[in-house]
Copies of this chain bind each other. A is one copy, B any other.
Amino acid sequence: MAKSVFYHAGCSVCVSAEHDIVNLIGLDKVEIVHLGQDRNRIAEAETKGVKSVPALVTPDGNVLHINFGASMTDVKG
């Protein structure tokens, strides 16, 4: 099965949501991407429709924006 991708930027809201999502879905079913560290994946996230972090992109390509940590504009700095 294709994995979901969880995009975050290291903020406290992101880290809290990351723990919840990993607990709910299972670490084997989700790839964690830290956009503050993997900056070359910011464009990929935006192409998928990610407007803010933290966000979870499902295997179907749907974007679930979870709470609100930072906008992609903030992430890009």
Which residue numbers of A lie inside 8 Å of B, CB to CB?
4, 16-17, 20-21, 23-25, 29, 56, 58, 60, 62-68
The interface residues of chain B lying within 8 Å CB-to-CB of A64 are 17, 20-21, 66-67
4 A-B pairs with least C-beta separation = A64-B66, A20-B58, A20-B62, A24-B25
Main secondary structure of the interface of A (DSSP, over half): mixed
Report the Cα distance A64→B14, complex, angstroms: 11
The interface residues of chain B lying within 8 Å CB-to-CB of A60 are 20, 23
The interface residues of chain B lying within 8 Å CB-to-CB of A20 are 58, 60, 62, 64
Apart from A23-B60, A63-B67, A66-B66: 5 A-B pairs, beta carbons within 8 A: A4-B24, A20-B58, A24-B29, A64-B66, A65-B68
